[in-house]
Structure 1
Amino acid sequence: MQRVPSSLLSDFSLSRIAFGLWRLTDWNYSPCERLSLFEQMLDLGVTTFDLADIYGDYRCEQSFGEALKLKPELRARMEIVSKCSIRLAGAASGARINHYDTSAEHVRGAVETSLRDMGVEQMDLLLLHRPDPLMDADALAGVLEQLVAEGKVKHLGVSNFLPHQVDLLQSRLSLPLVANQIEVSLLHSQPLFDGQLDHCQQHRIIPMAWSPFAGGRLFTGEDTDSARVRSALQALCKTRGLSEENGTMQLALSWLLKHPSQMVPVLGSGNPQRLVAALAALEMELDREEWFELLRAGRGRDVD
């Protein structure tokens, strides 16, 4: 499979499509079944596994670790991505209300808990899950660089950060931020116009695209925007001789993959057949007019 290399660090790259595990505990797979799914993804070249401390009410990383423990040698074939900075109210976090926390104490504790839950010594990429309005950039940069120096984190990035928020944190770091995971899809194309993807290109930051199918709305949404995009995808399927079931998914991914920022879509399905079908998007190439045709459907208007 193709890979997306970092232009900032010679030893860092992600698979062209990442495997999102935010629903891992919802799939009700046994540890052996989880392991089998992980092996299938690795064999297909999907080596980037995307997690976060809060996923599955703080249980997904434990479930991931239970499976990996059955065959620890798979760790060498993976890039493990995890996130922290969101604290959800409840016993698992000890928080009274949902809030963000980028304090040095919380970030260190979250990283060390994630490593323990996953049963690994280092995560390949740590992302700050959401920007924190109370972020102390100096203190945060200090703990992030300590975690890298200690070998607990290999590389650093952010998630859902706007360009000025990325710049603030980067101004305090001696290490580069190599990724920003943001929401992008045919139904959420704002990052193409609000500076987020321009900023990624400018600073050679890899954008990871979460919710590339708009949370499933592309396929099942009953709202006007979803229906309009689905109709455009179906029409393009007919033109290209693709089945609607898989073709709409493949075309929606191909639309993201064409962007010159080298977006890495994060797919979160527990169905191996669907994941295999999705990977066919890597062999597709939309021409410029097809791409803008889908953009028009997503935005509900033509370009000016």
Structure 2
Amino acid sequence: MQELIYGCMGLGGSWSDDPYGPEQVAEASAAVQAALAAGITLFDHADIYRNGKSEQVFGEVLAATPGLRDRIRLQTKCGIRLNERGLETHYDLSRDAILERVNGSLARLQTDYVDVLLLHRPDPLADPAEVAAAVGQLMAEGKVRHLGVSNMSGAQIGALQDRLDTPVVANQLELSLLARGWLESQVLVNHPEDLAYSFPRGTLEYCAAHGVTLQAYGALARGLYTGAAPADASPADLATAALVADLAAELDTTGESVLLGWLMKHPAGIAPVIGTVNPARIQACADARRVAAAMTRAQWYGLWVTARGSNIP
């Protein structure tokens, strides 16, 4: 069954090295409780979020809430290094790095295992055999139960899967009504407009054929269609926000659930990741599954065509 995922990147305060305080722990606790009330049980992390503070504040919430760990599933990511060795960003999926980063995440989260480990970005220097060895060791030690990836094409997943003894269960990508490359690539085959989109064709089809769940980050388009319009909003953006509001009224729901329902109606089985820390906005997402079932084909296409600002071929 499709589900919503709570993305924890916004928890923990700033991205600086400044420590978090009780207010950040309280904010995390409120967000977790709002997510649970909305029926969400999968919480998404990464070792780099807020320089590790996202995992730390979540770990404090876990430790202070008896029984919570048994009610939820945790996933985290590794593979990106920030501000190390004179580089702003580089990737590292070496065996030692995977082991080091996962153990660090477990310590910050104050848990013995994560339900899913995602490899955060493709590392051109990664040796698939090393990746497989690290994942195999973590699973044998009971520290990781399932493996997924993020920001990978179907071909990249397939090449990695050839060396693994465990199936890749998830692929997290940016998918939304705003970031539509995944959808445009399906219909712009043999069309000159296809050159404007870089989404790797065949990725959705690979994931569907191999049981890889698509997780959508940025699913709410960062509030573009459900909040105050920025000064640089395009006519298509403004028209889409108006249409989202109209459909929310028509379907007796929220704009957030309209956007998420639009994603979840696609037969690829997309699981949206919600990144807001606002409890009210988290709750506003709770109706997405019902909206997906109720939304008509005409409504679904209407949102797509309005967002793209032109008709489809």
Change over 3 Å in CA distance of 1:95–1:216 after alignment to 2 = farther
What is the identity, as a one-letter code, of the residue corresponding to 1:66?
E
Partner of residue 158, structure 1: 149
Change over 3 Å in CA distance of 1:215–1:240 after alignment to 2 = closer
The structural deviation recorded for 1:131 is: 0.7
Secondary structure of 1:127's counterpart equals strand
Question: Conserved in 2, the CA contact under 8 Å of 1:84 and 1:110?
Answer: yes
Question: Conserved in 2, the CA contact under 8 Å of 1:125 and 1:157?
Answer: yes
What TM-score does the superposition give when structure 1 sets the normalisation length? 0.87
1:294 corresponds, among 296, 303, 306, to 303
Q: How does 1:92-131 map to 2 (within 5 A)?
A: 94-97=84-87, 98-131=89-122
Partner of residue 283, structure 1: 290
Secondary structure of 2:224's counterpart equals helix
Please say if 1:76 is aligned against 2:70. yes
CA distance in structure 1 between the aligned counterparts of 2:37 and 2:249, rounded to whole angstroms: 28
Partner of residue 175, structure 1: 166
Question: Conserved in 2, the CA contact under 8 Å of 1:233 and 1:251?
Answer: no
Secondary structure of 2:214's counterpart equals strand
Question: Conserved in 1, the CA contact under 8 Å of 2:122 and 2:152?
Answer: yes
The structural deviation recorded for 1:111 is: 0.2
Larger CA deviation: 174-183 vs 28-37: 28-37
Question: Conserved in 1, the CA contact under 8 Å of 2:11 and 2:27?
Answer: no
Partner of residue 203, structure 1: 210
Partner of residue 65, structure 1: 59
CA distance in structure 2 between the aligned counterparts of 1:150 and 1:240, rounded to whole angstroms: 47
The Cα offsets for residues 41-66 of structure 1, whole Å up to 9 and x where unpaired, read as 22332101011000002221111111
Partner of residue 8, structure 1: none
Aligned length: 285
Question: Conserved in 2, the CA contact under 8 Å of 1:237 and 1:243?
Answer: no
CA distance in structure 1 between the aligned counterparts of 2:34 and 2:221, rounded to whole angstroms: 25
Change over 3 Å in CA distance of 1:67–1:291 after alignment to 2 = same
Question: Conserved in 2, the CA contact under 8 Å of 1:186 and 1:229?
Answer: no
Please say if 1:141 is aligned against 2:128. no
1:21 corresponds, among 8, 16, 24, to 8
- The runs of at least 4 aligned residues of structure 1 exceeding 6 Å deviation read none
Secondary structure of 1:279's counterpart equals coil
CA distance in structure 2 between the aligned counterparts of 1:46 and 1:203, rounded to whole angstroms: 25
Change over 3 Å in CA distance of 1:22–1:95 after alignment to 2 = farther
2:243 corresponds, among 225, 232, 235, to 235
Question: Conserved in 2, the CA contact under 8 Å of 1:125 and 1:154?
Answer: yes
% identity of equivalent residues: 35
What is the identity, as a one-letter code, of the residue corresponding to 2:295?
L
Secondary structure of 2:35's counterpart equals helix
The structural deviation recorded for 1:262 is: 1.3
The structural deviation recorded for 1:242 is: 5.2
Change over 3 Å in CA distance of 1:235–1:60 after alignment to 2 = closer
Secondary structure of 2:63's counterpart equals helix
Please say if 1:273 is aligned against 2:267. no
Change over 3 Å in CA distance of 1:289–1:229 after alignment to 2 = farther
CA distance in structure 1 between the aligned counterparts of 2:168 and 2:127, rounded to whole angstroms: 17
**Unmatched 5+ residue regions in structure 2?**
15-20, 186-200
What is the identity, as a one-letter code, of the residue corresponding to 1:163?
G
Question: Conserved in 2, the CA contact under 8 Å of 1:47 and 1:79?
Answer: yes
Question: Conserved in 1, the CA contact under 8 Å of 2:46 and 2:77?
Answer: yes
The structural deviation recorded for 1:240 is: 5.7
Question: Conserved in 2, the CA contact under 8 Å of 1:22 and 1:52?
Answer: yes
Question: Conserved in 2, the CA contact under 8 Å of 1:64 and 1:118?
Answer: yes
What is the identity, as a one-letter code, of the residue corresponding to 1:201?
A
Secondary structure of 2:36's counterpart equals helix
CA distance in structure 2 between the aligned counterparts of 1:233 and 1:291, rounded to whole angstroms: 14
Question: Conserved in 1, the CA contact under 8 Å of 2:214 and 2:269?
Answer: yes
2:178 corresponds, among 187, 209, 221, to 187
The structural deviation recorded for 1:224 is: 5.2
CA distance in structure 1 between the aligned counterparts of 2:27 and 2:134, rounded to whole angstroms: 37
Change over 3 Å in CA distance of 1:167–1:201 after alignment to 2 = same
Partner of residue 43, structure 1: 37
Change over 3 Å in CA distance of 1:196–1:217 after alignment to 2 = farther
CA distance in structure 2 between the aligned counterparts of 1:155 and 1:243, rounded to whole angstroms: 37
Question: Conserved in 2, the CA contact under 8 Å of 1:183 and 1:212?
Answer: yes
CA distance in structure 1 between the aligned counterparts of 2:231 and 2:262, rounded to whole angstroms: 22
The structural deviation recorded for 1:232 is: 3.0
